[in-house]
Amino acid sequence: MTRPYVVTNVAIIDAVRMIPEGYIKVKDKQIVAVGEGNPPSEAGWERLDGRKKILMPGLVNTHGHTPMTLLRGISDDLPLERWLKEKIWPAEAALDDESATVGTALAIVEMIRSGTTCFADMYHLNRENAALLGEESGMKASLARGMIACGTKQEQREKLKTAIDYAKSCQTSASGRLRGAVFPHAPYTCPLDFLQDAKAKADGASLPLHIHIAETRKEVDEHEAKHGMPPVAHLLESGILTEGSLAVHAVHINDSEMTGLKQNGVHVSHNPQSNLKLGSGIAPLPELLHHRIPVSLGTDSAASNNTLDLFDEMRQAAMVHKGVAENANATNARTILEMATVNGANTLGFSNTGLLEEGYDADFILIDSDQAHIVPRINHGTLVYSASGRDVTDVFVEGRPLMRDRKLLTMDEEKIRHDAMETSALLAASR
């Protein structure tokens, strides 16, 4: 795709528009035109037939831990604390940079296949390899080296320095498709002074701070008992959550904390499936939206989901809150699509990403709409209530194809699946 091209005869849907049959023109990594009908042929322009397809923005996953695809299905139906202590942490102890990289590669394959073009990834291993895979895969990514504040103060300072250096290196990647973030794990694994230090260093390097927060009721209750206020309020008051920070989960938060998040320009990553599966609870999405907090969607890891398919996540985010509120209009398809595309891109620091507009990056995907579970009509609801990651046929980032006709172009999928099976068997045998 070195020539400019136009995708024709295609249904076009993003968070602000729906064109039943139209086209988009792509040149120099960007969308240069979007319109209805069928444009005349132009010399030097390649034409891609989008008949019986839907063209939509690539999806953006604002929270995950890519190496944990290796732990998919290792433990279902256990609550967060037991899941972590009895299953996940022992299994993770057997991971090293090399095996974690196999998991990251598997995650990237799964994400491209299911139409994700931009993802956040936090982990404590394999960060250089993750950055390399991010570059080679052709995706956009926001990468972070996760930190738990254990060890001596000196060790903690070194851990923080390594994490900041890593995030800075991502910000200046050759392709410009990587971003860096500073990600202390959570208030219950990082004391306030460590968080304050991390925040000061992040600010100094113009890096955003991401943190898991208010995921379970237990976390919130214990934080309140210790600090006299819930964690979100506490981190707002302490100046740790500020403009552009990302609060991941935010399941158990009250109205005044929501007001604080909005006033301080904090973003939220909503991960409904992980929160449900671990029994953590149900975040107040309608209330977060009512407060006009910028909310995006994350899958969390494949160990608590168990897929990285953002279509499943959109569907769940649209569904569950209607039932809880007993209000079918508590969410709507257009807003959910906005969360999964342009909101996510903004949150991860990618401008001009997530809409199908002139001047936006050509990050888009094609969906096969000629299927029994999708016909007879196409609209915003099709993408949220009927489609699945398995319906994605083509994926483009900055105009470059990463998948055509369901074939991956930047990743050796068969080898990666094989390596994942083998690595997983070796890890199981070593425990």
State the Cα–Cα distance between residues 241 and 43, nearest whole angstrom.
52
| Residue (of 215, 187, 213, 183) closest to 81 by Cα position | 215
Interface residue with a copy of itself, options 389, 396, 399, 403 (CB under 8 A): 389
Tell whether 215 is in a known binding site. yes
Number of residues counted as binding a copy of itself (CB under 8 A): 80
Site string (23-62) toward a copy of itself, x via CB under 8 A: ----------------------------------------
Tell whether 212 is in a known binding site. yes
Strand ranges for 69-154 from DSSP E: 116-123, 140-147
Is residue 332 part of the contact set for a copy of itself (CB under 8 A)? yes
- Which residue stretch of 78-86, 134-142, 144-152, 258-266 sits at the interface with a copy of itself (rule: CB under 8 A)? 78-86
Give the bridge partners for 120, in sequence order: 142
Tokens linked to 31: 């969308």
Interface residue with a copy of itself, options 29, 217, 226, 415 (CB under 8 A): 217
Strand ranges for 255-300 from DSSP E: 267-270, 295-297
What part of residues 260-319 is at the interface with a copy of itself (CB under 8 A)?
Answer: 272-273, 275-282, 302, 305-309, 312, 315-316, 318-319
| Residue (of 249, 239, 172) closest to 205 by Cα position | 172
* Whole-Å CA distances, 289 to 212, 229, 257: 19, 23, 14
The dihedral through the CA atoms of 380, 382, 387, 393 has a sign that is negative
Question: Mapping DSSP to helix (H, G, I), strand (E, B) and coil, where does residue 119 land?
Answer: strand
What is the nearest approach in angstroms of a copy of itself to the Cβ of residue 332? 4
Question: Mapping DSSP to helix (H, G, I), strand (E, B) and coil, where does residue 177 land?
Answer: coil
What is the nearest approach in angstroms of a copy of itself to the Cβ of residue 142? 21
- Which residue stretch of 59-67, 175-183, 349-357, 411-419 sits at the interface with a copy of itself (rule: CB under 8 A)? 411-419
State the Cα–Cα distance between residues 399 and 84, nearest whole angstrom.
40
Interface residue with a copy of itself, options 377, 406, 407, 415 (CB under 8 A): 377
What part of residues 111-150 is at the interface with a copy of itself (CB under 8 A)?
Answer: 113-114
Residue nearer to a copy of itself on the CB measure, 63 or 72: 72
Is residue 375 part of the contact set for a copy of itself (CB under 8 A)? yes
Annotation: binding site: 63, 65, 92, 145, 185, 212, 215, 300
Annotation: binding site for Zn(2+): 63, 65, 212, 300
